Chains A and B, each alone.
Chain A
Amino acid sequence: MSITVRFFASLRERLGKGQDIIDSKGIGNVADVWQACAQIPFPDNVLAAVNMEYARADQPVTDGDEVAFFPPVTGGAR
């Protein structure tokens, strides 16, 4: 009964971890996952994904999901 949580790039460095495994008990959505892993409020510029799809903070999360948090992707100027 767990959820895998992953962090990337500057967010990974800021939180000091690349991955967490959390208990899915009491977890309803993406925002709950963030709260369970991070000691800071959800930053405005952080993006989230559930099972490799971009997700909003209120998207439901269930047991066995993989949730990721990361900064804006950096493609570069045109």
Chain B
Amino acid sequence: MKIRLVADAFDPWQEIVRHQTEQPGLAGKFGATAVFVGTLRDFNQGEAVQAMSLEHYAPMTEKHLERLTAEATSRWPIADMLVIHRYGELRPNEPIVLVVCWAAHRDSAFAACRYVIDELKTRAPFWKQELTGKGRRWVGQEK
């Protein structure tokens, strides 16, 4: 079980391989790997997006990510889980979030992966500010 908040761009596919290499005990224990990668689009709400700034509340964000991954592993039989989330300045086509669930069978892997990404989106304190041709705008926040 690993959670990382990172300021710099990361390659989700390399991270999956690295995690499996660093966890040799995992070998042979899983038959299913479910992966979700969230990536920054170059459009949102009808406007071209040039960049996005992702603000977070580090200790609270970490605490809630740890809690919801713990919830997922108590609900489904999960062999291991990896969550990586960006913060700071992002460019379109850069991955924002990676959720990986390793399990014996696919039902648990899919369900836990879906649970973690859906709960993360509503409970983990992150705020998005987009840079468009009209300047910077907060997403989903009234002025």
Contact = CB atoms under 8 A, between A and B. Distances in A.
Q: How large is the interface on A (under 10, 10 to 19, 20 to 34, 35 or more residues)?
A: 10 to 19
Interface in B107-143: 118, 120-129, 138-143
A70 B57 contact: yes
B18 interface: no
Contacts of B38: 76
A74 B129 CA distance: 10
Contacts of A75: 120-122, 124, 126
A78 B127 CA distance: 16
Given A8-B55, A9-B138, A70 B127 contact: yes
A73 B124 contact: yes
Interface residues of B, number: 24
Nearest to B121: A75
A8 B127 CA distance: 8
A45 interface: yes
Contacts of B121: 73, 75-76
Nearest to B96: A76
Contact of A52 (B63, B126, B141, B143): B63
Contacts of B126: 73-75
22 contacts: A6-B57, A8-B57, A9-B55, A9-B127, A9-B129, A10-B138, A14-B143, A43-B142, A52-B57, A52-B63, A52-B64, A68-B57, A68-B60, A70-B125, A73-B121, A73-B122, A73-B125, A73-B127, A74-B141, A75-B126, A76-B38, A76-B128
Interface of B: 38, 55, 57, 59-60, 63-64, 118, 120-129, 138-143
